Structure 1
Amino acid sequence: MKSFKRHLTALAVSAALMPTAAVQAGEVEVLHWWTAGGEARAAAALKKMMEEQGHTWKDFAVAGGGGEAAMTVLKTRAVSGNPPAAAQIKGLDIREWAELGFLTSLDSVADAENWDQLIPPMISDVMKYEGEYVAVPVNVHRVNWLWVNPEVMKDVGVEVPTTLDEFFDVADKLKAEGYIPLAHGGQPWQDATVFDAVALAELGPDDYRKAFVDHDMDVINSAKMEDVFAQFAKVMSYVDDDAAGRDWNTATGMVIRGEAAMQIMGDWAKGEFTAAGLTPGEDYVCAPAPGTTGQFTFNVDSFAMFTLSEEEDIKAQKDLARTILEPEFQTLFNQNKGSIPVRTDMDMSDFDTCAQASMNTFKSSADDGGLVPSFSHGLATTSYIQGQIFDVVTNFVNSNNPDPAKTTDQLAAAIQSAM
């Protein structure tokens, strides 16, 4: 966080005397990395909606699923006084851009459209800086999903597990019959995604928040966290030996083909099942990750809005923010991406059963405290602390002699070093 600010502040000082580039009236330039498949179609639909309102859309697409390349380009543009109208930024990075003075208030749109009544506070708070909206959420991904091949389960005579103990019992029986119990790709973010689900199961939502949002050392460096690592090691023991470097969608393909029985992955995995022509509830099962029934770890895509100078561009920017949260775009985009609308008043009848189940849990968990931001997908903490956690988790996974107690101490030290 500190290095981010120092880097941008230094660039901003050096760029302070540079002239601001002229922007055509009524133009909305949008930086994003929705460059493939359903995401690209959704971006094209948003462009069409803006053009129908009389605005000019300037596409600023930078390929790369994680957005690292896009952020590099954005920093250069922003500090030279020529930011886009909107940029795909999420989590606490939004606050960092706002603290540096780059973002503009969207409260006039938010008040007129009743955003506070449509978006759960847990998510709207991420979109705000000093009480004002500076970004607009696009969707909600549920991270703590378990994807299951029902034919494999039927062949072995086992049911979808709802607890970690049930998972271990089922996995043993699957392994005995020659199936890979858990499809997985050995990449840091995938390791962290599974750890995320196990941590929620073992800690519960309150202690999960204390650990990964508040960075409470009494929870981070505790016997509870040692239990998380111990259970995580056991879960990972059911992954095949060839997982190293495997992409997440390749792992999903193993479940689709029946080579593996289950995968713990966010709801973007649903797109792979859909592309294979499979129907949820029939050809595959979506269930909460073991031990997390009724709980919801969220990942949210969002657009931060940058300060502009031209009146017509500001109007286009506000229309973009409004349009993103309108039911038409919320439906179109989320049906393509596998996520659910961020609005809690949406009609879900045209969505599949997995999305409907996700929305039901999203609403109930927002009310009962079971809704938590995913640390593994950048919503709970800064990218620097997230990176430290990733290193600890992946080193633990790849250790020949994983030690939960020692790793818990390492986790506490790593998080403290990044704060």
Structure 2
Amino acid sequence: MAPATTDAGLHVSLLPELKTQESQIPRRASVSGAVFNVSTSIIGAGIMSIPATLKVLGVVPAFVLIVIIALLADISVEFLMRFTHSGESTTYAGVMKESFGRLGSVAVQICVMITNLGCLIVYLIIIGDVLSGNQPEGSVHLGVLQEWFGIHWWNSRAFALLFIVVFVMLPLVLFRRVESLRFSSAISVLLAVVFVGISSVMAISALLEGKAKSPRLLPHLDNNASFFELFTAVPVIVTAFTFHFNVHPIGFELGKPSDMIPAVRISLVLCAIIYFAIGIFGYLLFGDSIMADILINFDKNSGTAIGLLLNDTVRLSYALHLMLVFPLLNFPLRANINELLFPKKPLLATENTRFLSLTFVLLVFSYLAAIAIPNIWYFFQFVGSTSAVCLAFIFPGAIVLRDVHGISTTRDRIIAAIMIIMAVITSSIAISTNIYGLIGSKS
């Protein structure tokens, strides 16, 4: 999942309130450009855990769930844009403010901050897995540095991540204008394409050679507990399809903002296909041994130099991709925190003390959390069960039910109510199951 961005760096609010401000910005974006931007917003670190959902759900239920959540995401975006065009605001927070006042606006900002901070931590966890490996459930998965040089103190998880944070992340997050990152962003997209392409080729090759694992079509249920565990996969896919904080910035760059709806639909179809393809290819390669972060599984090789090279290329390409995406996620996060905590202070970009303090605090917190929590599955479940599900489904549904502009139809209200009820029930079950699982594992 990629971050929301600003048009002119930190000195421009991430959530401008008036359409007159938008009218001053040249509208040069095309529908094809919007499709690319929305697709980039959707495809992020979430793709790493999609194969694990197939392990939990089985191929058929996972495919159905991906389709359902993609359809609900399309409906929620249509709700958002319809109420946006009927009101005076051009932002998600602004639309919520029109419906629920200042409380609604703050709720959106807090959810964006939770989602983005969670993803920053997930990025560092994945990078740590690639460089220094992981030991989930007692199985040892070596990182690239350990495979190349052996296990030493300097390529441990804590030290390797510290090096990346200081010498790669810090210089990038100190840029005060998002435009300064345009070249690194272009490289990151190329690296993501490399990851997807090589993974697909490896899976197809394994299938042709008869080495592919047999995918499980349906989930394997032993008892009631395993049934409720199926719900823990829902937040992972919800997070993978949460891009709603980027809908307004992208949409209002179009010559016709109404073109955003078909652009979103094309993007959702493309991303649903990519997610399912990665899920099935990952399952064919690794079967039930697949990890919550599929990159960990690529420490295995076919016993040849080419196999080792492909595995290392897959892991490093995506790790580098995340390093370059990290500062883009940091921009809107830092801006929202500043806007929430210091609404009356001077511009953030003009105050070195506040700018550097926020930057260092976010970086240090992300680093410490990535060291303390070595499994990305828990983060996707938490974010998907809370802030992401609010941004994707609960808030859009609430806007329709509130209907301050009197434009909701009976069908709209029924769909919105069902959307909210489903989101609350599945998230509650997922949270309860996760808490029960954590308590059980410690007892």
TM over 0.5: no
- Higher RCO structure, 1 or 2 (CA under 8 Å, sep 6+): 2
Higher helix share: 2
- With the length of structure 2 as denominator, give the TM-score of the two structures: 0.25
Higher strand share: 1
